[in-house]
Every structure is written in C-alpha cells, then in structure tokens.
Amino acid sequence: MNSSPLIQLTDLEKTYHSPAGDYKALKGISLTITAGEFVSIMGPSGSGKSTLMHIMGALDSPTAGSYRLNGKDISSYNDDQLAEIRNKEIGFIFQSFNLLPRTTVLKNVERPMVYAGIVSAERTRRAMEALERMHISDKANNLSNHISGGQIQRVAIARALIMNPSLLLADEPTGNLDTATSHEIMKIIVDMNKQGKTIVVITHEEDIARFAKRKIRLVDGRIG
Amino acid sequence: MNINEYFLSAYQSLRSNLLRTLLTMLGIIIGISSVILIIALGQGATASITNELTSFGTNFFSVNAGTFEGGSAFTGSVKTLTLDDVDAILNDPSLTNVESVAPLVMASSVVAANGEDDRLSVIGTTEEYFTILKPKLISGRLLNKDDEVGFSKVALIGVDAVETFYGENFDPVGEVIRVDNRPVRIVGVFENESQLAATFNNALYIPIAIVQKQILGQDHLQEIEVSVYDTDLIDQTITDVEVLLRDRHDIDSEENDDFTVQSFQDALSTLEVVTGLLTTLIAAISGISLLVGGIGIMNIMLVTVTERTKEIGLLKAIGAKQRDILTQFLVESVVLTLAGGVIGILIGTGAAFLIAKIINIPFIVSTSSIVIAVGVSTAVGIIFGIYPARRAARLNPIDALRHE
C-alpha cells in the first residue's frame, strides 16, 4: 500500500470574525494522513471538527498554517482552484442534503463529471457502473426524493467516488439512518478503504468511529 | 456543463413551481403582448389608410386659398385664388406634367326636395373635377361643358343626400330641387367609394358659375385641384405651380404664399411621422412595463437563490465553479423571460388578429417586431438575472451548506 503523505496539516489555525468578537475554532493542528488510511475525527460540538473537515475538504481556507494535499499547498488557492480540487481530489458524503432535488439519481451521479467536462455518453456509462457497484442501478431514473435514506447515502457514495478522488470525506454519513442501515453504509465505506481509498469520517458516535483504523479526537480546537 | 443541460435544469426548476413561474412571467407577458398588439394594430391601421389614400389617387394635388399660418386655409377669406389661376396653370407651356385642372368653391345651402329640407354642402366645379377625383356615377350623367357655358341650373347629387330626401332605391334624375330657394334639376347621382371622400356623398355638385354668381356672389375660389400625368414628378410640378402662382399673386421672395398646396404624398408622409411618434411613445410605455416585469424577475430570482442556497453549496462541494453557478441561474432567468416573451408574442398576435378582423383593418405582424420582442425578453432576463446569479455564484460553500 502507498504510504506517502496524502494530507499534511501544519500548525493549522482558523479564526472566525464576527461582530461579537473573534472566535478561534482551530488552534494549531498538525496532522499527517497517508494514502490508504481510514481515519475518524471525533469530538463534541464546538470542538472544531466541522471546521477541520471544511478545510480538509477544500471548502474553506485556513487563517494560518499550511495544508498540503497530494504534495500541493492548497491553503492559498482561490475559489475556482479549490472548486477544481473538490471536483477531482475529494469525494464528499454529507449527513443530509446529499442529492440535488428535482433531479434523477443518474443525473446526480453524473454532475461532478459535468463540471469536469466529460462528454455525455461517457458520463452516463461511468455513472451507471458506479450505481451498479452500489447495487442501486435500478433506481437510476428515479427522482432523488423518491428513494430511501439508505439508498440516498449509497447514491452519495457512488457520486463521491465517480471522479476517482484521492480522499473520501464523510461528514456524519450515518447521522440520519437507523442502526442496521448505518452498518450497511459503514460496511461499504470499509470496503472502499480495503480497495485502497483514503477515508476520513467525521462523527460524534463511538459506534461509527470504531470502523476506522485510526481515531483522532479534537478538544477545543486542538488534537486531544 | 453544456448549454442544453443548463436549459434542461432551468426547465426542471421552473416547472417545479409552475404557478410562481407563471406569475413571475406575467409582467413580461403583458409587456410583450401589448407591444406586439399595438404595433400590429398601428401597422394595420397605417396600411389601411395608405390603401385608402392610394385608391383615392396620388396623381393629384390641391391648391387651397390661404395658409395654415394665417389660420384662413379653406375659409375663403383669402380672395386671390381665381379662375384665371386655373387657366394659367392649365395653359402654362412649361407645366407639361399637368393633366387636368379643376376649380372648386363650396357653399353651405338649404336644400329642399320632396317636402324635406336640409343643409348640405354645395360644391361648384367644372367637368374636369370628375376626371380628377372620379366619383362613381350611379345614374344619369356628369356635369359637362354645356352646363357651364349655358349657366344650366343642374346638379349632381350624392347617394346619401338622395336617401335623406327620397329614401332608398329612388332614382331622382329629372327631379327638381331647391337650393337656397333656386330651382335646380338633378341630372345624375354619384357615390364616392373611398372612406376619405365619404362626406361628399351628402353633397351636391353644381356648375361653378351658378354657385359663384347666384349662391355665393363671389369670384374667387377656395381650391384648385390639379392632376398630373407622371406621379413621380408631382413634387416638381407642385414647385412649378407654386412659382407660377407666387408670380401671378405678386408675392415677393420674402413674403409667404397666400395659398397652401396639399397632396396625398404629404398626407402619407405626415401619417408616417405620426405613426413613428406613436411607435416611439408605445415603445417607451412598454419599456416601463418591461422594467416592472424585470424587477419582478429579479425579485423572484433572489428568492430562488435564497431557497436553493443549500443546493448551491452542494454543487460547489462537488466541483461547480462560480461560472457554472452564474450560468445556471442566468439561463434560468433568461428561460423565464424568453418563455414569457414567446407567450406574449402568441397572445399579442392572437389579439391583433381578432381586433384587426373586428375593426376591419389588415392583420400585420412583422417579423421585425417578433425578433425585437424575443431580443428584448432575452435582454430583460440577462439584465435582471445577472445580479441574483452573481449572488448565487459568490456564495461561500460552507455558508451555503450550513444554511437552514
């Protein structure tokens, strides 16, 4: 297995400015995640785990420190450069609102390829393959609001993997699911890791975190 | 993302809230349909009047005694226009384009016939008049040279006047009527078919000498009608006649004419100027309606952006750039206004068709007004959609994802 560092965070800080005063959500995080790892990030609300996830997901930039992803320092990238990173390097699975409304399952999975400029026939072929791997290709033409919560998460995983990203970032991926379905989804994520995908799961549930090989706890903006 | 997909996505989102979409489009629909309707009716009416004018004849012009500036045109208070002017125009060797010249005096007389009496226009003229204005002879004969020379007390009567005195389907030829108490025999019945000359159908034509000497007691004329051989040269002929009359009336170069020349060419160009002004006015009014419609679009697009903040966040998370989001919302507002524009064109055209049928004018919807309508609706979509679309494009992805 490849053991080069995929994510390298050095003295990462994030300060939010508001009229009520500045709030330091991350107070110097240094962390290295190598390719192929399965890491869980835990912590109570207010610990900074969401902020960390946003920065790792290239949705936000740090106030100080550096973030190297695949060897590239992306901490000072502009909006469109970060959009490109999110498109090609990172697959997201959110707790809720994963799929576009008024849009079929297939079109949802195709969308990242649309932004990558892949032609229509190729997109459909790849999206159908991804849906088959998640055993949900029979719902390809259903509208996204006509499938169950577990099915939504499977479609989300299919879409997260469609651009073959180096990192799969899951933010409370089972937060809205019952226990049985949660385990089914986590089993898929574990399988993805076994196939070599680097996975970071943000959760506050011990039950979910124990699927990860490495657990990181955040307390008050620092690694505890 | 290619443009078809933007359109498909816009269509899906607009369809998902059909009532709101229709209400939003209403301003554009009303604006565009009223422009199409009014321009169509304007063009139809212009065409209708132009047809009237052309059928009436564009190969002649009128010289009226007096001027508009003096406020005395057609009133007869200017006495310089005479039968000698008629002869001079007819016989001037340089006026080779002049075909025929007819003098005209008008009186308002009490006409009594068949036990009825009524005040009618009495027009004194010569036989040339009928070669220029060509009223249609229903029965009897026109006025001729013998009537003029012989001071014949004869009259040609219009169809409406016949109906007033005798009722329908009566041929009054040979009847004697009284014009200001003087007996006059009817020799013919005429009808002007053009709407523009319809008022003359309630008038009498009498030899000019009778009207001048016996009814009005004056020697001057109110009007001279001049017809030409070549209509293309009518402007030159008008100028030549003006020069001749100024000379005859001893008008210095600094002085104004004491007569006014009018031709249907003039009327046509006046009509064009009026139509042009009206079109500009209507364009301005519909501009306001489109502005209001556009503000409505902007308002709804801002609401849409707020409603779909989470969706925008998700799109950004999976790799949408600012340009992608901007285009998506811009296409949506353009689809909205363009659909409104197309519906407006259909409604406006339909309404124009019906109204044109009812008021009996030609139905004309020009390609250019449709092209402009499509262009304007697209422009409204872009102008009023750009701000909401930019707002969407510039949303911070985490703020958008966290939005509740």
Q: What is the band of B77 on the pLDDT scale with cuts at 50, 70, 90?
A: low
pLDDT in tens, A46-88: 899 999 999 999 999 999 999 999 999 998 899 999 999 999 9
Residues of B in Cβ contact (< 8 Å) with A79? 321-322
pLDDT, averaged across chain B = 89
Q: What is the band of B74 on the pLDDT scale with cuts at 50, 70, 90?
A: low
The answer to whether position A176 is within a domain reads: yes
Residues 6 or more apart in contact with residue B214 via CB below 8 angstroms: B182
Residue B403, pLDDT above cutoff 90: no
Element (H or E) spanning B65, and its range? strand B60-65
The answer to whether position A145 is within a domain reads: yes
Nearest CA in chain A to B307: A101
Taking alpha carbons only, the member of B212, B206, B226, B223 closest to residue B143 is B206
The answer to whether position A222 is within a domain reads: no
Taking alpha carbons only, the member of B97, B103, B72, B58 closest to residue B257 is B72
CB contact under 8 A, A92 and B316: no
Contact B38, B282 (CB under 8 A): yes
pLDDT score for B282: 81
CB contact under 8 A, A115 and B311: no
CB contact under 8 A, A59 and B318: no
pLDDT in tens, B39-52: 898 888 888 888 87
CB contact under 8 A, B315 and A111: yes
Minimal Cβ distance to B311: which of A57, A86, A101:
A101
The answer to whether position A120 is within a domain reads: yes
Number of other CB atoms surrounding residue B44 within 10 Å: 20
Element (H or E) spanning B291, and its range? helix B264-307
Residue type, A167: L
| Distance of residue A163 Cα from the nearest chain B Cα, in angstroms | 10
Place of tokens 């609300």: A45
Residues of A in Cβ contact (< 8 Å) with B13? 102
Residue A1, pLDDT above cutoff 50: no
> What is the average pLDDT across B343-369?
93
| Distance of residue B312 Cα from the nearest chain A Cα, in angstroms | 9
Structure token digits, residue B380 = 């409204």
DSSP A61-93: --SEEEEEETTEE-TT--HHHHHHHHHHTEEEE
pLDDT in tens, B150-204: 888 999 999 999 998 998 888 999 999 999 999 999 999 999 877 777 788 899 9
The answer to whether position A11 is within a domain reads: no
Nearest CA in chain A to B403: A97
CB contact under 8 A, B5 and A57: no
Taking alpha carbons only, the member of B398, B364, B380, B320 closest to residue B6 is B320
Q: How far apart are CA B314 and CA B308, in angstroms?
A: 10
Q: How far apart are CA A96 and CA B158, in angstroms?
A: 88
CB contact under 8 A, A116 and B319: yes
Structurally, chain A folds into a number of domains equal to 1
Domain encompassing residue A113: 36-59+80-213
| Burial zone of A191 (CB within 10 Å; 0-12 exposed, 13-18 middle, 19+ buried) | exposed
Residues of B in Cβ contact (< 8 Å) with A97? 310-311, 314, 401
Write the CA distances from A157 to A96, A183, A192, B183, B313, integer angstroms: 13, 14, 10, 109, 18
The answer to whether position A162 is within a domain reads: yes
pLDDT in tens, B83-131: 999 999 999 999 999 999 999 999 999 999 988 889 999 999 999 999 8
CB contact under 8 A, A100 and B16: no
Contact A29, A222 (CB under 8 A): yes
The answer to whether position A108 is within a domain reads: yes
Residues of A in Cβ contact (< 8 Å) with B1? 114-115
The answer to whether position A156 is within a domain reads: yes
pLDDT in tens, A110-146: 999 999 999 999 999 999 999 999 999 999 999 999 9
Chain Cα centroid distance, residue B321: 54
CB contact under 8 A, A80 and B322: yes
pLDDT score for B71: 53
CATH of the domain at A174: 3.40.50.300
| Distance of residue B317 Cα from the nearest chain A Cα, in angstroms | 6
Residues of A in Cβ contact (< 8 Å) with B316? 59, 83, 86
Residues of B in Cβ contact (< 8 Å) with A80? 321-323
Residues of B in Cβ contact (< 8 Å) with A54? 398
Rg, C-alpha atoms of chain A: 17
DSSP 8-state code for residue B257: P
Q: How far apart are CA B95 and CA B112, in angstroms?
A: 43
